[in-house]
Structure 1
Amino acid sequence: MTTEQTDWAQLMGFDRLPTHIVEKRVSDLLDLSGKKAIVTGAGGDGLGQATANRLAGSGADVALIGRTLSKVEKRAAEIEKRWGVKAYPILADLSDWDQVHRAVAESKEALGGLDIMINNPVMVVGGAFEKHTKEDIDQTMLGSLTMMMYGAHAALEHFLPQGSGRIINIGAVGGRVQQPGLTVYCAAKAGVIGFTRNLAYEFASRGIHVLGVAPGIMIKPDMKDMVLNPQNDGQRAGRASIHNAIQHQVQLGRVCLPEEVANMVAYLASEAADYMCGQTIDVAGGQWMG
């Protein structure tokens, strides 16, 4: 090639194109065998455990971080038995800066490396905004945005020296649409979308992939029980809000399983998503502003 052609080839990144994928199946690209992943908020019945299962089912070893050790121990044991990978339970309060950084370092040591950080913390206080206390607002912002920043910061301490890694932030479709009684939460989740975009902008050139997933209305056992058997006015109001969203905003007309959202998380964690950057993908049944 001429000097001009070489310059243009470098400018276009031709030398960095992943040509090895051309002859592969998509299923090959989704294989996470040998990868080491952290999932926060993984002890309950929601998206954390579903994501840990999806990553493990794709071959990754996983560290499950949660604030109740018995819960993450139970989930880790289930994953090891089901998928035959390594699964480590890690105790940490994700609202504590030092504990988050310690837990990520401990996870890397236990797994023998770190490739993927699934940032899935949440604490939310719902209800009429004018009735919120300072503590309600602070707790929701901490649990739905600030803790996300703690986790990303802790992961970057390990990703930057190795020049690689994936951070997937779990937001919510509420970051894009209005939802009654969730003003502070939705504002925080809009912040997650902005945080994801800006973090990607800052670190993409240093080998770090940053992406986000925005779930819609996921049904967990406690939520299903609340919908079928509301016990008080607050739960009845919550049920009415969910029904209104499904009827008027969710184009598929139903709630979803955490596993349906975890499918997208697993995809974004894989080589198949290598040319995506800074985006937050809605998995919300087509929910839109009504």
Structure 2
Amino acid sequence: MDPREQDVAEVMGFDRLPTHIVDKRVADLLDLSGKKAIVTGAGGDGLGQAIANRLGGCGADVALIGRTFEKVERRAKEVEQRWGVKAVPILADLSDWDQVHRAVRESHDALGGLDIMVNNPVMVHAGPFEAFTKAQIDMTVHGSLTMLMYCAHAALEYLLPQGSGKIINIGAVGGRIQQRGLVVYNSCKAGVVGFTRNLAHEMAPRGVNVLGVAPGIMIKPDMRQRILDPQSDQDFAARNAIMEAITTQVQLGRVSLPEEVANMVAYLASEAADYMCGQTIDVAGGQWMN
């Protein structure tokens, strides 16, 4: 072969094209059997447990990390019983650097490897910016952005040496739009979009892919009850804000289930999304600022 032709083939990456997928169905590419995944914030009734269930349903073994062991233990048992995969509960306060790295290490050892890291931070404070205290600003920044960086850092200790794996960061559509009462939170979620893009740029040449998902208005069971039967001024304010957003911003005209967002996480974790890199995908019913 002419050296110049060989250079072209190398630059084009012809030898790295996934030609084995050509004759497969998309459903086959979504199979995560044999993969090892970590999901943080997975003990409650929201997105974390939905992601763990979706990944388990696709065949992955899953470690569920949370601050309350009884909750992640219950969710892990549900994943195991429902899907027949291995699911392990891991206790950790993800605001603590050392606990994060310990939890990822324990997850890796319990599962026998790590292929997928889903960073699902769960801490948030809302309200008028001028009413925020230093503690509330610090808590929101730490819980919405810093903890996510801690978890990605811990995962890379295993993904980089093997030269493969995916990190999926959970942001929010608020990171792309402006919303009253969410100045600090949305600013952090804009940071998640930037972190995802920049980390992907740094890690892709080393075999680790970084992607993001930006949910819109998700309704958990307890939140649904508070909206239907508000018991406090905060509940009324939340209901009014959500109703306004649904009627003026969300093109599909409804809220979402956590499982609908988890669908995108499972897709990005799969081979079907292997040519995506650095993007943060909105799953928000077309929510935008009017």
**TM-score if structure 2 supplies the norm length?**
0.99
Report the 3-state secondary structure (helix = DSSP H, G, I; strand = E; otherwise coil) of the residue aligned with 1:34: coil
Cα deviation, residue 247, structure 1: 0.3
**Residues 84-163 of structure 1 aligned to structure 2 (within 5 Å):** 84-163=84-163
**Residues 269-288 of structure 1 aligned to structure 2 (within 5 Å):** 269-288=269-288
Report the 3-state secondary structure (helix = DSSP H, G, I; strand = E; otherwise coil) of the residue aligned with 2:93: coil
Q: Note if contact 1:119-1:151 (Cα within 8 Å) is conserved in structure 2.
A: yes
Partner of 1:259: 259
Partner of 2:180: 180
Cα deviation, residue 180, structure 1: 1.8
Determine the C-alpha separation between the residues in 1 that align with 2:8 and 2:206: 22
Q: Which runs of at least 4 in structure 1 moved beyond 6 Å after TM superposition? A: none
Cα deviation, residue 122, structure 1: 2.0
Determine the C-alpha separation between the residues in 1 that align with 2:74 and 2:180: 35
**One-letter code aligned to 1:247:** T
**TM-score if structure 1 supplies the norm length?**
0.99
**One-letter code aligned to 1:20:** H
The answer to which of 120-129 and 185-194 deviates more is 120-129
Q: Give the superposed CA RMSD.
A: 0.6
Determine the C-alpha separation between the residues in 2 that align with 1:161 and 1:150: 18
Q: Note if contact 1:227-1:239 (Cα within 8 Å) is conserved in structure 2.
A: yes
- Give the share of equivalent positions with the same residue, in percent: 76
Determine the C-alpha separation between the residues in 2 that align with 1:3 and 1:195: 39
Q: Note if contact 1:90-1:103 (Cα within 8 Å) is conserved in structure 2.
A: yes
Cα deviation, residue 174, structure 1: 0.4
**Structure 2: where are the runs of 5+ without partners?**
none
Determine the C-alpha separation between the residues in 1 that align with 2:243 and 2:179: 12
Report the 3-state secondary structure (helix = DSSP H, G, I; strand = E; otherwise coil) of the residue aligned with 1:255: coil
Report the 3-state secondary structure (helix = DSSP H, G, I; strand = E; otherwise coil) of the residue aligned with 1:241: helix
Cα deviation, residue 4, structure 1: 1.3
**Structure 1: where are the runs of 5+ without partners?**
none
How many residue pairs get matched?
Answer: 290
Determine the C-alpha separation between the residues in 2 that align with 1:11 and 1:163: 19
Partner of 1:56: 56
Q: Note if contact 1:180-1:241 (Cα within 8 Å) is conserved in structure 2.
A: no
**One-letter code aligned to 2:95:** S
Report the 3-state secondary structure (helix = DSSP H, G, I; strand = E; otherwise coil) of the residue aligned with 1:28: helix
Report the 3-state secondary structure (helix = DSSP H, G, I; strand = E; otherwise coil) of the residue aligned with 1:218: coil
**One-letter code aligned to 1:77:** K
